[in-house]
Amino acid sequence: MGLSSGFYNSLSGLNASGAGLSVIGNNIANINTVGFKSSRSLFGDILNSTVNGDASMQVGRGVGLDGVQTLFGQGTVLGTGNALDFAIQGEGFFTVSDASRNNALFYTRDGQFVLDEDHYIVNANGLRLQGTAGDIQIPVNALGETVMPPLATGAVSMQVNLSANSALPTMDWDNPLNPPNNRFSSATGPVPGSYNFTSSVTVYDSAGNSHLMDVFFRKTTTNLQWEAFAVWDANGQNTNGLITHDYRYQALGALTFGTTLDAQGRTLVNLASPAGPVSAALQWDPVWQAGPQTVTIDFSGSTQYGLPSAANFLTADGYPEGGLTNFRIDREGQLFGLYSNGQEMRLDQLRIARFAAPTELSKAGKNLFARSETSGAPVETVAGSGGAGLIFGNSLEMSNINLADEFVTMIAMQRAFQANAQAMTTTNEMLIKLTQI
């Protein structure tokens, strides 16, 4: 020990300061890296030596870099307008898999994703984003197209008011007991005079073709009682420039209204029966390439008042085929595909990973972290539960680097480097003097 030990102490200070400056430089270099987490240097003194075995005469042996700690503070979340840009606000990491490395899992806060040629959602390096069901892949049809298949209409809800002032129709439809007054044919359907009111709804067949289904209402000889019929054109296709029709109908049964008094003593006229939906069995000509379908029609909430007949509420399920146009994600990480038919389809829910010791994760480069022996096993959950943060779509989390803090730390590190250099110079001059004695 002696002057030479002071020389090596100063050298350790220079090395530690240089390492600290490297950490700061890396932080500043990644100030615009999406999801980047800053690091800080952890220094510790080197084991002391004891002079003559006296504990009160311990002399330090310099400083060493004990470690580099990643700081997982929240970065600013900025909107981007890109539907496949995701940001986590809170704890947790996106999980991605590397198909080229036996589906090895990595973790990241970088939420920049795109669709690849195989319709997987991937990051800039081709790693696949993980959902609760594994790799998130957009469904395709037999031709490899990202389309939503059609859904045949199965349920219609129709709430009408049938005017109490309606007169009885003078004509029947297909009543074999009254041939002169038949007013329904496959070419023309029903004609005025055979019904009191009609309301139309668009239905879709199993091939995704749209059709109009009309519901005709006829008042019967009994007050508060009506008949309902479903009418549809099974053909309607344009053949050789001519439109041919194949109108068909099905009786839906009687609609019976009942009267009740409300709390103020006013008379209410509401549908008493049928109590539930009725069914219409629709069939289509082969040209549509669609099979038969059953459509249930619910008239609940319909009334009979003196007001003009009108459809007050009308809705139906079913839709045609639609192509993928965009994406939507909610705060819990549920990802939906938006399609050109106005529908959306749930694709998956993002898998979020949490760690007991995230600062112990191993940096794998390219904005990725890997599990280490000291980080603990990943706890897989979804956003909004298990302590995981929330997901923001059309947004990215920027780096959490505070440039002002980095500059202040850089100045302090520079001063330490200069001071250690000066101490080394002084020690060197003293050693030269010593050799000259």
**pLDDT tens, 8-42?**
787 788 888 888 999 999 999 999 999 999 999 98
For residue 135, report the phi and psi dihedrals to the nearest 5 degrees. Answer: -55, 130
Distance of CA 435 to the CA centre of its chain: 76
The CA-atom distances, in angstroms, between 378 and each of 126, 367, 372, 426 are 22, 18, 10, 52
pLDDT at position 49 is 60
For residue 344, the number of C-alpha atoms closer than 13 Å in the C-beta half-sphere is 12
The set of residues, in sequence order, having a beta carbon less than 8 Å from that of 316 and lying 6+ positions away, is 153, 155, 156, 157, 201, 202, 203
When the pLDDT of each residue in the chain is averaged and rounded to a whole number, the result is 89
Q: Looking at residue 420, what DSSP letter applies?
A: H
Strand partners, 46: none
The model's pLDDT over 181-217, given as tens digits with 9 standing for 90+, comes to 667 888 888 888 889 999 999 999 999 999 999 999 9
Q: Is 247 helix (H, G, I), strand (E, B) or coil?
A: strand
- Structure tokens belonging to residue 178: 């009254």
The model's pLDDT over 250-290, given as tens digits with 9 standing for 90+, comes to 999 999 999 888 778 788 888 989 989 999 999 999 989 99
Q: Is 435 helix (H, G, I), strand (E, B) or coil?
A: helix
- Structure tokens belonging to residue 361: 């994760």
Instruction: Kindly report the pTM of this predicted structure.
Output: 0.80
For residue 266, report the phi and psi dihedrals to the nearest 5 degrees. Answer: -85, 145
| Higher-confidence position of 55 and 141 | 141
- According to the per-residue pLDDT averaged within each range, which of 123-127, 239-243, 269-273 is highest? 123-127
Least confident range of 4-8, 194-198, 292-296, 348-352: 4-8
CA distance 102 to 53: 57
pLDDT at position 203 is 97
Q: Looking at residue 11, what DSSP letter applies?
A: H
